[in-house]
Structure 1
Amino acid sequence: MSDSISTSTSRRPAGLDAPALQEWLAAPDGPRLLDVRTPAEFEASHIPGSYNVPLDLLKEHREEFRAHLDEDLVLICRSGARATQAEGLLAATDLPNVHVLVGGVTAWESAGAPLNRGAETWELERQVRLLAGAIVLVGVLLSIVVPWAKWISAGIGAGLVVAALTNSCLMGLMLAKMPWNRRETPDLETVLRDLAAADESR
Protein backbone atom coordinates (compact mmCIF):
# COMPACT_ATOMS: atom_id res chain seq x y z
CA MET A 1 0.00 0.00 0.00
CA SER A 2 1.34 3.42 -0.87
CA ASP A 3 2.18 6.04 1.77
CA SER A 4 -0.52 8.36 0.40
CA ILE A 5 -3.22 5.73 0.80
CA SER A 6 -2.01 4.77 4.26
CA THR A 7 -2.07 8.40 5.37
CA SER A 8 -5.58 9.01 4.09
CA THR A 9 -7.13 5.82 5.48
CA SER A 10 -5.49 6.19 8.90
CA ARG A 11 -7.69 9.23 9.52
CA ARG A 12 -10.87 7.19 9.25
CA PRO A 13 -12.54 6.34 12.58
CA ALA A 14 -12.46 2.84 14.02
CA GLY A 15 -16.26 2.74 13.90
CA LEU A 16 -17.89 3.47 10.55
CA ASP A 17 -21.60 3.99 9.93
CA ALA A 18 -23.25 2.62 6.79
CA PRO A 19 -23.13 5.84 4.71
CA ALA A 20 -19.43 6.35 5.52
CA LEU A 21 -18.62 2.80 4.49
CA GLN A 22 -20.60 3.15 1.25
CA GLU A 23 -18.65 6.27 0.40
CA TRP A 24 -15.33 4.60 1.18
CA LEU A 25 -16.16 1.52 -0.90
CA ALA A 26 -16.76 3.77 -3.90
CA ALA A 27 -13.26 5.27 -3.55
CA PRO A 28 -10.11 3.84 -5.18
CA ASP A 29 -8.68 2.95 -1.76
CA GLY A 30 -11.76 1.01 -0.65
CA PRO A 31 -11.25 -1.41 2.27
CA ARG A 32 -11.55 -5.16 2.44
CA LEU A 33 -14.71 -6.44 4.13
CA LEU A 34 -14.66 -9.44 6.48
CA ASP A 35 -18.02 -10.77 7.69
CA VAL A 36 -17.53 -12.71 10.94
CA ARG A 37 -21.04 -14.17 11.19
CA THR A 38 -21.85 -17.85 10.77
CA PRO A 39 -21.87 -19.28 7.22
CA ALA A 40 -25.66 -19.68 7.42
CA GLU A 41 -26.13 -16.01 8.30
CA PHE A 42 -23.70 -14.97 5.58
CA GLU A 43 -25.55 -17.05 3.00
CA ALA A 44 -28.87 -15.46 3.98
CA SER A 45 -27.59 -11.92 3.36
CA HIS A 46 -24.24 -10.21 3.06
CA ILE A 47 -22.67 -7.04 1.74
CA PRO A 48 -21.43 -7.47 -1.86
CA GLY A 49 -17.70 -8.05 -2.01
CA SER A 50 -17.39 -9.24 1.60
CA TYR A 51 -15.59 -12.41 2.67
CA ASN A 52 -17.00 -14.81 5.25
CA VAL A 53 -14.52 -15.48 8.06
CA PRO A 54 -16.57 -16.86 10.99
CA LEU A 55 -15.53 -15.52 14.38
CA ASP A 56 -14.40 -18.91 15.70
CA LEU A 57 -12.21 -19.46 12.61
CA LEU A 58 -10.67 -16.01 13.03
CA LYS A 59 -10.10 -16.64 16.72
CA GLU A 60 -8.31 -19.93 16.08
CA HIS A 61 -6.15 -18.68 13.18
CA ARG A 62 -5.76 -14.95 13.74
CA GLU A 63 -1.97 -15.10 13.26
CA GLU A 64 -2.38 -16.69 9.83
CA PHE A 65 -4.92 -14.05 8.87
CA ARG A 66 -2.63 -11.32 10.18
CA ALA A 67 0.00 -12.40 7.65
CA HIS A 68 -2.49 -11.93 4.78
CA LEU A 69 -4.17 -8.70 5.88
CA ASP A 70 -2.05 -5.61 5.42
CA GLU A 71 -4.61 -3.16 4.04
CA ASP A 72 -7.58 -1.37 5.56
CA LEU A 73 -10.13 -3.82 6.91
CA VAL A 74 -13.77 -3.43 7.93
CA LEU A 75 -15.28 -6.11 10.15
CA ILE A 76 -18.98 -6.88 9.84
CA CYS A 77 -21.58 -8.85 11.78
CA ARG A 78 -25.30 -8.48 12.42
CA SER A 79 -25.20 -5.70 15.03
CA GLY A 80 -21.52 -4.89 15.57
CA ALA A 81 -20.95 -6.98 18.73
CA ARG A 82 -19.13 -9.92 17.12
CA ALA A 83 -17.23 -7.57 14.82
CA THR A 84 -16.01 -5.70 17.90
CA GLN A 85 -14.80 -9.00 19.38
CA ALA A 86 -12.99 -9.73 16.12
CA GLU A 87 -11.42 -6.28 16.24
CA GLY A 88 -10.01 -7.12 19.67
CA LEU A 89 -8.56 -10.37 18.38
CA LEU A 90 -6.82 -8.67 15.47
CA ALA A 91 -5.67 -5.78 17.65
CA ALA A 92 -3.72 -8.33 19.69
CA THR A 93 -1.75 -9.13 16.53
CA ASP A 94 -0.89 -5.43 16.02
CA LEU A 95 -2.83 -5.30 12.75
CA PRO A 96 -3.29 -1.61 11.83
CA ASN A 97 -6.26 0.08 10.17
CA VAL A 98 -9.01 -2.21 11.47
CA HIS A 99 -12.53 -0.78 11.47
CA VAL A 100 -16.00 -1.99 12.48
CA LEU A 101 -19.29 -1.35 10.70
CA VAL A 102 -21.38 0.23 13.47
CA GLY A 103 -24.77 -1.45 13.67
CA GLY A 104 -23.62 -4.22 11.33
CA VAL A 105 -25.72 -5.63 8.52
CA THR A 106 -28.86 -4.40 10.28
CA ALA A 107 -27.74 -0.77 9.99
CA TRP A 108 -26.49 -1.35 6.44
CA GLU A 109 -29.89 -2.67 5.37
CA SER A 110 -31.72 0.16 7.16
CA ALA A 111 -29.63 2.64 5.19
CA GLY A 112 -30.92 1.12 1.95
CA ALA A 113 -27.47 -0.19 0.99
CA PRO A 114 -27.26 -3.25 -1.30
CA LEU A 115 -27.23 -6.80 0.05
CA ASN A 116 -26.71 -10.12 -1.68
CA ARG A 117 -29.45 -12.48 -0.49
CA GLY A 118 -29.69 -16.25 -0.39
CA ALA A 119 -31.52 -18.89 1.63
CA GLU A 120 -33.22 -17.41 4.69
CA THR A 121 -32.06 -18.55 8.12
CA TRP A 122 -32.43 -17.33 11.69
CA GLU A 123 -29.67 -14.96 12.77
CA LEU A 124 -27.55 -16.11 15.71
CA GLU A 125 -28.92 -13.46 18.06
CA ARG A 126 -32.46 -14.66 17.37
CA GLN A 127 -31.44 -18.24 18.09
CA VAL A 128 -29.93 -17.10 21.40
CA ARG A 129 -33.16 -15.34 22.37
CA LEU A 130 -35.19 -18.46 21.56
CA LEU A 131 -32.95 -20.85 23.49
CA ALA A 132 -32.52 -18.56 26.50
CA GLY A 133 -36.26 -17.85 26.67
CA ALA A 134 -37.13 -21.54 26.34
CA ILE A 135 -34.75 -22.54 29.15
CA VAL A 136 -36.10 -19.81 31.45
CA LEU A 137 -39.69 -20.83 30.72
CA VAL A 138 -38.98 -24.52 31.35
CA GLY A 139 -37.14 -23.66 34.57
CA VAL A 140 -40.08 -21.62 35.88
CA LEU A 141 -42.62 -24.31 34.98
CA LEU A 142 -40.51 -27.07 36.52
CA SER A 143 -40.10 -25.06 39.72
CA ILE A 144 -43.82 -25.57 40.39
CA VAL A 145 -43.05 -29.26 40.93
CA VAL A 146 -39.33 -29.14 41.68
CA PRO A 147 -38.49 -25.92 43.59
CA TRP A 148 -34.77 -26.03 42.85
CA ALA A 149 -35.47 -25.76 39.10
CA LYS A 150 -35.85 -22.00 39.55
CA TRP A 151 -32.07 -21.81 39.71
CA ILE A 152 -31.90 -22.96 36.09
CA SER A 153 -33.73 -19.79 35.11
CA ALA A 154 -31.55 -17.76 37.47
CA GLY A 155 -28.43 -19.18 35.83
CA ILE A 156 -29.61 -18.13 32.38
CA GLY A 157 -30.40 -14.65 33.70
CA ALA A 158 -26.93 -14.37 35.21
CA GLY A 159 -25.39 -15.55 31.96
CA LEU A 160 -27.22 -12.87 30.00
CA VAL A 161 -26.01 -10.20 32.44
CA VAL A 162 -22.41 -11.38 32.02
CA ALA A 163 -22.86 -11.44 28.24
CA ALA A 164 -24.03 -7.83 28.27
CA LEU A 165 -21.21 -6.66 30.57
CA THR A 166 -18.48 -8.42 28.59
CA ASN A 167 -20.05 -7.89 25.14
CA SER A 168 -19.70 -11.61 24.48
CA CYS A 169 -22.05 -14.56 24.56
CA LEU A 170 -21.08 -18.12 25.45
CA MET A 171 -24.47 -19.41 24.33
CA GLY A 172 -24.00 -17.69 20.99
CA LEU A 173 -20.56 -19.27 20.56
CA MET A 174 -22.03 -22.68 21.33
CA LEU A 175 -24.91 -22.21 18.90
CA ALA A 176 -22.48 -21.05 16.20
CA LYS A 177 -20.94 -24.54 16.31
CA MET A 178 -24.24 -26.29 15.65
CA PRO A 179 -24.54 -28.11 12.30
CA TRP A 180 -27.25 -25.83 10.91
CA ASN A 181 -25.00 -22.82 11.48
CA ARG A 182 -21.83 -24.45 10.17
CA ARG A 183 -23.05 -25.71 6.81
CA GLU A 184 -20.61 -24.73 4.09
CA THR A 185 -18.15 -23.40 6.65
CA PRO A 186 -15.13 -22.03 4.77
CA ASP A 187 -11.84 -23.71 5.63
CA LEU A 188 -8.72 -21.71 6.36
CA GLU A 189 -6.92 -22.62 3.13
CA THR A 190 -9.88 -21.59 0.98
CA VAL A 191 -10.30 -18.24 2.72
CA LEU A 192 -6.59 -17.42 2.52
CA ARG A 193 -6.53 -18.38 -1.16
CA ASP A 194 -9.51 -16.10 -1.85
CA LEU A 195 -7.86 -13.24 0.01
CA ALA A 196 -4.63 -13.73 -1.95
CA ALA A 197 -6.56 -13.77 -5.23
CA ALA A 198 -8.28 -10.54 -4.25
CA ASP A 199 -4.89 -8.96 -3.56
CA GLU A 200 -3.71 -9.83 -7.07
CA SER A 201 -6.82 -8.28 -8.64
CA ARG A 202 -6.58 -4.99 -6.72
Structure 2
Amino acid sequence: MHFILNNWYLFLGLFVVLFLLVWGPLRQMIYGIHHVSVAEAVRLVNHAQGVVVDVRENDEYRSGHIPKSIHVPLSGLASGLTQLDKYKARPLIVCCRTSQRSARAAVLLRQKQFANVQVLAGGITAWQGENLPVEK
Protein backbone atom coordinates (compact mmCIF):
# COMPACT_ATOMS: atom_id res chain seq x y z
CA MET A 1 0.00 0.00 0.00
CA HIS A 2 2.91 2.30 0.74
CA PHE A 3 4.17 1.88 -2.84
CA ILE A 4 0.77 2.85 -4.25
CA LEU A 5 0.56 5.95 -2.07
CA ASN A 6 4.07 7.05 -3.01
CA ASN A 7 3.42 6.50 -6.72
CA TRP A 8 -0.23 7.52 -6.98
CA TYR A 9 0.40 9.45 -10.21
CA LEU A 10 1.59 6.26 -11.94
CA PHE A 11 -1.58 4.44 -10.93
CA LEU A 12 -3.72 7.39 -11.99
CA GLY A 13 -2.01 7.31 -15.39
CA LEU A 14 -2.58 3.56 -15.61
CA PHE A 15 -6.30 3.95 -14.90
CA VAL A 16 -6.61 6.75 -17.46
CA VAL A 17 -4.91 4.63 -20.14
CA LEU A 18 -7.08 1.61 -19.30
CA PHE A 19 -10.21 3.75 -19.46
CA LEU A 20 -9.24 5.15 -22.86
CA LEU A 21 -8.54 1.65 -24.20
CA VAL A 22 -11.90 0.35 -23.02
CA TRP A 23 -14.06 3.41 -23.81
CA GLY A 24 -14.01 3.15 -27.63
CA PRO A 25 -15.20 -0.46 -27.89
CA LEU A 26 -17.59 0.01 -24.97
CA ARG A 27 -19.15 3.05 -26.63
CA GLN A 28 -19.62 1.10 -29.87
CA MET A 29 -21.27 -1.73 -27.93
CA ILE A 30 -23.62 0.70 -26.15
CA TYR A 31 -24.75 2.17 -29.48
CA GLY A 32 -25.06 -1.24 -31.16
CA ILE A 33 -22.28 -0.73 -33.71
CA HIS A 34 -21.13 -3.94 -35.39
CA HIS A 35 -18.09 -4.55 -37.56
CA VAL A 36 -18.77 -6.48 -40.76
CA SER A 37 -16.34 -8.32 -42.99
CA VAL A 38 -15.76 -7.33 -46.58
CA ALA A 39 -17.82 -10.33 -47.73
CA GLU A 40 -20.73 -9.31 -45.47
CA ALA A 41 -20.52 -5.72 -46.73
CA VAL A 42 -20.73 -6.95 -50.33
CA ARG A 43 -23.76 -9.08 -49.39
CA LEU A 44 -25.46 -6.10 -47.73
CA VAL A 45 -24.89 -3.90 -50.78
CA ASN A 46 -25.97 -6.53 -53.30
CA HIS A 47 -28.92 -8.10 -51.49
CA ALA A 48 -30.13 -5.69 -48.79
CA GLN A 49 -29.79 -2.31 -50.56
CA GLY A 50 -26.86 -1.41 -48.32
CA VAL A 51 -25.13 1.92 -48.83
CA VAL A 52 -21.41 2.46 -48.31
CA VAL A 53 -20.53 5.76 -46.63
CA ASP A 54 -16.86 6.73 -46.96
CA VAL A 55 -15.78 9.13 -44.19
CA ARG A 56 -12.19 9.67 -45.35
CA GLU A 57 -10.94 13.11 -46.28
CA ASN A 58 -11.19 14.39 -49.87
CA ASP A 59 -7.66 13.50 -50.99
CA GLU A 60 -7.96 9.96 -49.59
CA TYR A 61 -11.32 9.48 -51.30
CA ARG A 62 -9.97 10.70 -54.66
CA SER A 63 -7.07 8.24 -54.46
CA GLY A 64 -9.54 5.34 -54.61
CA HIS A 65 -12.95 4.49 -53.18
CA ILE A 66 -15.57 1.75 -53.21
CA PRO A 67 -17.82 2.06 -56.29
CA LYS A 68 -21.11 3.90 -55.63
CA SER A 69 -19.99 4.90 -52.13
CA ILE A 70 -21.22 8.19 -50.72
CA HIS A 71 -18.46 10.52 -49.61
CA VAL A 72 -19.09 12.44 -46.40
CA PRO A 73 -15.80 13.26 -44.63
CA LEU A 74 -15.83 12.67 -40.88
CA SER A 75 -14.83 16.31 -40.37
CA GLY A 76 -18.07 17.37 -42.10
CA LEU A 77 -20.36 14.53 -41.09
CA ALA A 78 -22.47 16.52 -38.64
CA SER A 79 -23.29 19.09 -41.33
CA GLY A 80 -23.58 16.46 -44.10
CA LEU A 81 -26.25 14.33 -42.44
CA THR A 82 -29.02 15.73 -44.66
CA GLN A 83 -27.26 14.06 -47.60
CA LEU A 84 -27.76 10.70 -45.82
CA ASP A 85 -31.32 11.18 -44.52
CA LYS A 86 -32.89 9.30 -47.43
CA TYR A 87 -30.88 6.21 -46.43
CA LYS A 88 -32.03 6.10 -42.77
CA ALA A 89 -33.98 2.86 -43.24
CA ARG A 90 -31.27 1.11 -45.26
CA PRO A 91 -28.15 -0.63 -43.96
CA LEU A 92 -25.22 1.80 -43.86
CA ILE A 93 -21.69 0.42 -44.09
CA VAL A 94 -19.30 3.10 -42.90
CA CYS A 95 -15.70 2.90 -44.06
CA CYS A 96 -12.45 4.80 -43.79
CA ARG A 97 -8.87 3.66 -44.34
CA THR A 98 -8.63 1.16 -41.46
CA SER A 99 -11.98 1.50 -39.57
CA GLN A 100 -10.87 3.86 -36.79
CA ARG A 101 -12.65 6.98 -38.04
CA SER A 102 -15.60 4.99 -39.31
CA ALA A 103 -16.30 3.71 -35.79
CA ARG A 104 -16.61 7.31 -34.56
CA ALA A 105 -18.82 8.17 -37.53
CA ALA A 106 -21.02 5.13 -36.88
CA VAL A 107 -21.62 6.23 -33.28
CA LEU A 108 -22.62 9.69 -34.52
CA LEU A 109 -25.00 8.18 -37.08
CA ARG A 110 -26.64 5.99 -34.43
CA GLN A 111 -27.07 9.05 -32.21
CA LYS A 112 -28.87 10.71 -35.13
CA GLN A 113 -31.36 7.82 -35.35
CA PHE A 114 -29.86 5.87 -38.25
CA ALA A 115 -31.15 2.39 -37.46
CA ASN A 116 -28.80 -0.03 -39.19
CA VAL A 117 -25.16 1.10 -39.09
CA GLN A 118 -22.17 -1.18 -39.57
CA VAL A 119 -18.44 -0.51 -39.77
CA LEU A 120 -16.40 -2.14 -42.52
CA ALA A 121 -13.78 -4.07 -40.55
CA GLY A 122 -10.34 -3.11 -41.82
CA GLY A 123 -11.76 -0.31 -43.97
CA ILE A 124 -10.74 0.32 -47.56
CA THR A 125 -7.45 -1.43 -46.81
CA ALA A 126 -9.32 -4.71 -46.22
CA TRP A 127 -11.47 -4.06 -49.32
CA GLN A 128 -8.37 -3.67 -51.48
CA GLY A 129 -6.79 -6.68 -49.76
CA GLU A 130 -9.67 -8.78 -51.11
CA ASN A 131 -8.92 -7.44 -54.63
CA LEU A 132 -12.34 -5.83 -54.94
CA PRO A 133 -12.82 -2.91 -57.32
CA VAL A 134 -12.06 0.69 -56.42
CA GLU A 135 -12.85 3.80 -58.44
CA LYS A 136 -10.63 6.85 -58.80
TM-score by length of 1: 0.47
Which residue of structure 2 lines up, in the alignment, with residue 171 of structure 1?
Answer: none
Please tell me whether the aligned partners of residues 59 and 86 of structure 1 are also in contact (alpha carbons under 8 angstroms).
Answer: no
Q: Which has the higher contact order (CA 8 A, sep 6+)?
A: 2
> How many residue pairs get matched?
103
Change in CA separation of 1:93 and 1:48 when aligned onto 2, cut-off 3 Å? same
User: Alpha-carbon deviations, 1:97-139, whole Å to 9, x = none?
Assistant: 011101000001101111113xxxxxxxxxxxxxxxxxxxxxx
Q: What is the distance in 2 between the residues matched to 1:116 and 1:21?
A: 17
**Unpaired runs of at least 5, structure 2:** 1-32
How far apart are 1:83 and its partner, in Å? 0.5
Q: CA deviation at 1:16?
A: 0.8
More helix per residue: 1 or 2?
1
Match of 1:83 in 2: 102
Q: Secondary structure at the match of 1:116?
A: coil
Change (3 A) 1:66 1:93: farther
Q: Distance in 2 between matches of 1:95 and 1:76?
A: 16
Q: Which residue of 2 aligns with 1:36?
A: 55
- Give the percent of matched residue pairs that are identical in Structure 1 and Structure 2: 28
Alignment match of 2:91 (pick from 51, 72, 88) = 72
Of 37, 42, 51, 1:17 maps to 37
AA at the equivalent of 1:25: V
Larger Rg: 1
Structure 1: unaligned runs, 5 residues or longer = 1-12, 118-202
Aligned counterpart, 2:26: none
